[in-house]
Amino acid sequence: MLVDLRIQNYALIEALELRPSGLLNIITGETGAGKSIMLGAIGLLLGNRADSKLLFNNDKKCVIEGQFDISGYHLQDIFEAEDLDYDAQCILRREIAPSGKSRAFVNDTPVTVETLRKIGANLMDIHSQHDTLLLGDPVFQLNLIDLYAGLVPTRTQYSTAFRQYRKLAADLKALEDQIAQANKELDYHSFLLNELEEARLDGEDQGALEQELKELEHAEEIKLKLTHALQSLSEGEYCATSTLKEASVVLGQIAGYSDAARLLKERVDSCLIELRDVADEAEQAEQRTEADPRRLDEVQQRLTVLYNLQRKHQVRDLPALLAVREELQQKVGSVLNLDKEINRLRRDADGALATVNKRAAHLSEQRRKAFPQFEKELADLLFDLGMPNARLLVQHSTGQPAASGTDVINLLFTANKGAHPQTLSKAASGGEFSRLMLCVKYLLADKTALPTIVFDEIDTGISGEIAVKVGRMMQQMAKKHQLITISHLPQMAAAGDVHFFVYKEDRPDRTVSRIRRLSEEERIREIAQMISGARVSENAVQSARELLAMRGESDLVAA
C-alpha cells in the first residue's frame, strides 16, 4: 500500500505530502482545487508521459516520490524479472527536468519508464471517470470474466499454447513462401546444374589442356625445329657433340702435363654428357610430335565448353566454376530438403493447433460456468445501490482461436423493468455506468493483489441513501485493499477512515494547491459545507455528525 506520497514543483503544487491510511481515504475539495492535478502526478509516478510545461517553477525539476509497503504481496518475481533488488519498502521516484528530460527510479536504481510502468501497475490501480468507458470494451469484458472466475492461470496456459501455435504457423507460412519462390527458380537452377554436371569438371586440368592445344596447333613447326636442333647437337657434320668430343681428345693429350688442361678436359666431358642427354630428349620429343587433327579438335571443343561455362557464370577459372556447381547443388538440394521440413512443420503446427483448441474449449467451458454467478452477484450489488430492476447478461459466441481464446462476449445491460438488455453504450447512463463499474471493482477486489486502488469520482450521478451504500461498499473493499477516493458527496466523505482536504492558497504572486488531513471537528465542518454550501447551518452540522456516526464506534475511535 501507499505509505507516503511527495510531490514537488508540479502544476499548482509547490510541495505536497500525503500519508494515507491503510483503509479508506477520502479526498475532497472545491472543483479546480488540485485533486485531479494530484492524480496526474500519481500517474507520472506510474509511468505516464511527462510534460515539462506542467512544472510549477520552470527553473527547477519536478520530483514525485511514493513509498509503498509491498510486504505480503508476492512481487519478488516481478522485481527479479526486471533485474531489480526487492525490498518490502519500495520507493518509486520520477523526475522531470525543465528541459523536459525525464528520469525514473525504483529503490534509487535508475530504470526505464517502461520498467517503472510495469512495477507501478502492480502497486496501484487508478480508476478515473474516463476508465468507466472501458466497461464497454469486449477485451476488457473478457479480462473481467477471467479475473472474476480465477481463470488467469488457465488463460495463461492457453496463451502459451496459442503463442507456440502462432510461431509455428508463421514459420510454416514463411517456409511455404520460400518454397514457392524456390520452385519458381528450381527448373532454371536444375538446368544449370545438369549442364555443369554433364561437363564432367572433376579432375579436369584446364592449364594442361591449354598447353596441349598450343602444341597441337604448332606440331609441324615444333617437329621441324626439333629436327634442326638435333642436326646442330648430334647429327650434323659439324655438330656440337663432335666438336666437344674433339676438344676433349685434344685436352686429354696434354692433361698429363698440365693440371689446368686436366680440369678443362673434365669440364668439357661434363658438358658433353649433358649435351648428349639434351640431344636424346630432343630426339624423343621430335618422335612424339605428330600432327593429330582429331585430338586437336577434341581439345578445342573441350576448352570451348569450359570457356563458355565460365563466361556464362561470369567466373575466370575452373575452381570458380566448381564453386558455382556446388552452390547450385545446395540450392536444388535445399528445395528437396524444404519439403521434408515443411512436412515436419505442418505436423507440429497441427499438433499445436489441437492443443490450442483443447485448451480453448476448457477455458470457454470454465468461463461459461462463471456467467450465471457473475450476472447474479452484479444484479444483487446493483439492487443494493438503488437499481432493483437492473440486469446484466453475458452474451456469448465463439470464433476462431485468438490471443484470449475462442470466446467473444458482450455485456448487455438494462436498468428498467421490461426493457430488453442492450449493449452498455446504449443502455446505461453516466450514473448507471459509474455504479456498474463500482460493482465490478468490488467483485474484483478479492480477485486481484493490488495494494492500492484509487477512485476518481466514481460516485458520479448518485446521491442520498445510495451514496451511503456506496460508502459502505468502499469500507468493505478497504478491509483488504487500501482505497483512496476523490468525492464530492458528503455521504462518501463520512465513510472514510481518514479525510484529506485539497484547497487553493492565494499568494501575492500566484496560486498554489495544498492538502491537509482534517481533524474530527474540521471533518464535521467540511462535510456540513458539502451538505449546505458555504453558509453552514446547525442542521447541516447535525447531519454531518449523523453521517460520521454511521461509520460505527470503531471508526470513530480510529479517527
Confidence of residue 103 (pLDDT cuts 50, 70, 90): very high
Confidence of residue 43 (pLDDT cuts 50, 70, 90): confident
**Sequence-ordered list of residues with C-beta below 8 angstroms from that of 172, at least 6 positions apart, any chain:** 342, 345, 346, 349
Q: What mean pLDDT is predicted for residues 451-473? A: 80
Confidence of residue 128 (pLDDT cuts 50, 70, 90): low
Count of CA atoms in the C-beta half-sphere (13 A) of 211: 4
C-beta separation of 48 from 95 below 8 A: no
Cα 217–Cα 218–Cα 221 angle in degrees, nearest 5: 155
Cell of residue 368, nine digits: 461459461
> How does pLDDT run across 320-331, given as a tens digit for each residue?
888 988 888 887
Confidence of residue 362 (pLDDT cuts 50, 70, 90): very high
What pLDDT is recorded for position 430?
66
CA separation for the pair 106, 70 (Å, rounded): 13
Checking if the pLDDT of 558 tops 70, the result is: no
Q: What mean pLDDT is predicted for residues 20-34? A: 87
What pLDDT is recorded for position 110?
92
CA separation for the pair 244, 238 (Å, rounded): 10
Checking if the pLDDT of 462 tops 80, the result is: no
- Global confidence as pTM: 0.63
Checking if the pLDDT of 559 tops 60, the result is: no
Supply φ then ψ for residue 469, to 5 degrees. Answer: -65, -35
C-beta separation of 89 from 39 below 8 A: no
The alpha-helical segments, DSSP class H, found in 385-429 are 424-427
Checking if the pLDDT of 336 tops 70, the result is: no
Checking if the pLDDT of 112 tops 80, the result is: yes
What pLDDT is recorded for position 555?
44
> How does pLDDT run across 392-432, given as a tens digit for each residue?
899 999 989 998 899 999 988 888 888 888 887 676 666 67
Q: What is the mean pLDDT of the chain?
A: 85
> How does pLDDT run across 297-313, given as a tens digit for each residue?
988 888 888 889 889 88
What pLDDT is recorded for position 335?
67
Which of 438 and 522 is assigned the larger pLDDT? 522
* Amino acid (1-letter code) at residue 511: T
Residue 112 zone, left/alpha/beta (φ > 0; ψ -120 to 50; rest): beta
Q: What mean pLDDT is predicted for residues 475-483? A: 86
* Amino acid (1-letter code) at residue 446: D
Backbone CA torsion sign across 266, 271, 274, 277: negative
What pLDDT is recorded for position 553?
42
Instruction: Single out the residue of 498, 556, 487, 422 nearest to residue 18, CA to CA.
Output: 498
Checking if the pLDDT of 515 tops 50, the result is: yes
**Listed ranges 46-60, 204-218, 360-374; the one with the highest mean pLDDT:** 360-374
Give the whole-number percent of the chain exceeding pLDDT 90: 24
CA separation for the pair 252, 34 (Å, rounded): 131
Confidence of residue 163 (pLDDT cuts 50, 70, 90): very high
Checking if the pLDDT of 98 tops 70, the result is: yes
Q: Rg (Cα) of the chain, in Å, rounded?
A: 48
- What does each C-alpha distance from 208 to 204, 212, 375, 444 come to in angstroms? 9, 6, 93, 88
